[in-house]
Structure 1
Amino acid sequence: MRLSFVLSEIFSGLRRNLSMVVSVILVTFVSLSFVGAAGLLQAQVTQMKGYWFDKVQVAVYLCNSTSVSANCPVGADGAATPVSESQRTAVEDALKSDEMKSYVAMYEYESPEEAYKHFQEQFGNSSMADLVKPDQLPASFRIKLVDPEKYQVINERFSTMPGVDQVADQRQYLDKVFQLINVASIVAVIIAAVMIVCAVLLVATTIRLSAFTRRRETGIMRLVGASKSVIQLPFVLEGVIAAAIGAILASGVLWAVLQFVVTDRLAAENPQVAFIDPTEMFWVAPLLILIGVLLAGLSSLLTLRRYLKV
């Protein structure tokens, strides 16, 4: 009897305040979509770091005629002196040394001819391909580190060696990408916070109007001895149901984006990039529903304490 009464009151309240309930669903949907997007963006950053940081290398570029480093002295013709064979051998011997064994997982030498070939493969469809000549690209050692965070050790060891133009950590280019994703996450969180405040206020307004329109019914219930929880429960569940629907819609849209945009399109077109997949929604969706239910429930309870005297 009590359960059927509570259910009838819930559906009655939802029907009477349908427009407000739809508004709560939409605002909750938008706000939790931004919350979920922020979480997924952070998951993408973590995924890319774990994938790319194992693959990035430190490049030790050797002197050529276009170098400007102090390690590359200028000859009589005004051009830098290219690295000599003995200098190149000294760098390679240092990489093989016992001192570097705990830092260097592997390395490979790339000659200027190989560097030019790789450049043409990468920029063959660009006008840049015609502007670069083979002698403008330096020879280099590509080093894979045991721990990518130990770049500074390699930099200190090789940057001052004769014949070395510069030591470059390829992670710095990835860090720029990660920073952009982090900025997008922060923006999503800020928008989500504003929208969540709007959702909370809208839930409170909806519950307040519902309580006002049914004040005669609640008065009769008080007179016949209905408990506080029985009177308040339908109002609370109205807000919770609306917020839960919004959270489910947000989860569905985010899953669709991951499946049809990220997995089916971006991942297929960019197999070299480690994208997150729709399985991430297994932890995002329950979290969004929990956030929506908690916000709606707390907002409803606080509103009822002020406007519904039981």
Structure 2
Amino acid sequence: MRFGLIMSEAFTGLRRNVSMVISVILVTFVSLTFVGAAILMQMQIGTMRDFWVDRAQVAIYMCTEISTNQATCADGEATPEQVEEVRGKLAGSALSPLIRDMVFLDHQQAYEELLDLVGEEDASVVTPEQVNETFRITLVDPAQSAVIIEAFTGTAGVEQVQDQLQYLEPLFSALTVATYIAVGIAALMLIAAVLLIATTIRLSAYARRRELGIMRLVGASNRFIQTPFILEGVFAALLGSVLASAAVIAGVHFGVDNYLRNRVDFVTTWVDLGEAWLVVPVLILVGIVLAALSAGFAIRRWLRA
């Protein structure tokens, strides 16, 4: 009976403040959608980083007849002895423990790789002899790439030592900035939702001030009086959280699985519906907790006033 009365009072308050409740639902929906997007973006960054860091290579480009590095390529194309010197150094006791895999591409193999990358028309401007012979090194720990770069920078016959991971860092940085922006917008929207919930509860309490006065006179406890108002905020925020969860799942299904996955080729690992479902409890919990705290604080202050 007591529980039924509390629920009846809560739903009565929701009916009396329909417009404000809809506002709370919409603000909660938008803010938690941004929260979910930020979480998924951070997951995506972590997934991409793990994938590419594990596969990123250090490339040692040997000099060719058209190399412009006068410090190490002054004598023109790298000689077989210089190539073997680099190979021996990589196989030596100092560097070999750092290397998981090593591939050497001669002029023809490097030229064929260039053909696959840019097409025959663009690659026709150079001959195979003008394409660098290349050592491609996969490290046990990609963080040790600086050791390889330092070991071969300035070596005769070596035109350039290049860490491929450095080209991905700007992408990771841009995605991280986008995540921070989403978090910032979400935080502002959550603040708006909290203030709106508090305002809705105060208006609801004011509209029922006569009833509250009677309840106090008959000895109703503060907890009994406060609970329906807290439930009002929680119900509204719960609906907003469910809508936000649906938006996040729909975004991953239609935006990632059905669109980006088939159009962005250089990203081979994407967040999926399994990870989106992991975000759903977080969104619902955040919505409920913020609504309960905001509504509880608002009604307690109103009752003390």
Into which bin does the TM-score normalised by the smaller protein fall?
A: over 0.9
Matches of 2:198 and 2:58, distance apart in 1: 56
Q: Which ranges in structure 1 are unaligned for 5 or more consecutive residues? A: 76-80
Q: Secondary structure at the match of 2:101?
A: strand
Q: CA RMSD in A?
A: 1.8
Q: In the alignment, residue 132 of structure 2 is paired with which amino acid? A: P
Which residue of the partner structure matches residue 193 of structure 2? Answer: 199
Alignment of structure 1 residues 229-248 onto 2, 5 Å: 229-248=223-242
Note if contact 1:17-1:210 (Cα within 8 Å) is conserved in structure 2.
yes
Q: Secondary structure at the match of 2:137?
A: strand
Which residue of the partner structure matches residue 77 of structure 2? Answer: 82
Instruction: Give per-residue Cα distances to partners, 1:152-185, cap 9 Å, x unaligned.
Output: 1111111122111111101011111111110110
Note if contact 2:59-2:164 (Cα within 8 Å) is conserved in structure 1.
yes
Which residue of the partner structure matches residue 31 of structure 2? Answer: 31
1:188 aligned to which of 178, 182, 193: 182
Q: Which ranges in structure 2 are unaligned for 5 or more consecutive residues? A: none
1:106 aligned to which of 87, 95, 101: 101
2:139 aligned to which of 113, 130, 145: 145
Q: Secondary structure at the match of 2:66?
A: coil
Note if contact 1:72-1:82 (Cα within 8 Å) is conserved in structure 2.
no
Matches of 2:125 and 2:29, distance apart in 1: 52
Which residue of the partner structure matches residue 285 of structure 1? Answer: 280
Q: Name the count of aligned residue pairs.
A: 304
Matches of 2:111 and 2:88, distance apart in 1: 25
How far is 1:244 from its partner?
1.3
**2:268 counterpart of 1:273:** yes
Moved over 6 A (4+): none
Q: Secondary structure at the match of 2:206?
A: helix
Q: In the alignment, residue 243 of structure 2 is paired with which amino acid? A: L
Matches of 2:80 and 2:38, distance apart in 1: 52
Note if contact 1:37-1:254 (Cα within 8 Å) is conserved in structure 2.
yes
Q: In the alignment, residue 189 of structure 1 is paired with which amino acid? A: V
**2:270 counterpart of 1:308:** no
Change (3 A) 1:295 1:92: same
Q: In the alignment, residue 222 of structure 2 is paired with which amino acid? A: K
How far is 1:130 from its partner?
5.2
Note if contact 1:71-1:164 (Cα within 8 Å) is conserved in structure 2.
no
Percent identity reads: 45
Q: Normalising to structure 2: TM-score of the pair?
A: 0.94
Matches of 1:121 and 1:289, distance apart in 2: 48
How far is 1:128 from its partner?
4.4
Change (3 A) 1:132 1:255: farther
Instruction: Give per-residue Cα distances to partners, 1:1-40, cap 9 Å, x unaligned.
Output: 1111111111111111111111101101111111111111
Note if contact 2:72-2:154 (Cα within 8 Å) is conserved in structure 1.
no
Which residue of the partner structure matches residue 54 of structure 1? Answer: 54
**2:4 counterpart of 1:4:** yes
Which residue of the partner structure matches residue 210 of structure 2? Answer: 216
Q: In the alignment, residue 275 of structure 2 is paired with which amino acid? A: E
Which residue of the partner structure matches residue 95 of structure 1? Answer: 90
Matches of 1:66 and 1:45, distance apart in 2: 39
Matches of 2:129 and 2:22, distance apart in 1: 67
Which residue of the partner structure matches residue 259 of structure 1? Answer: 253
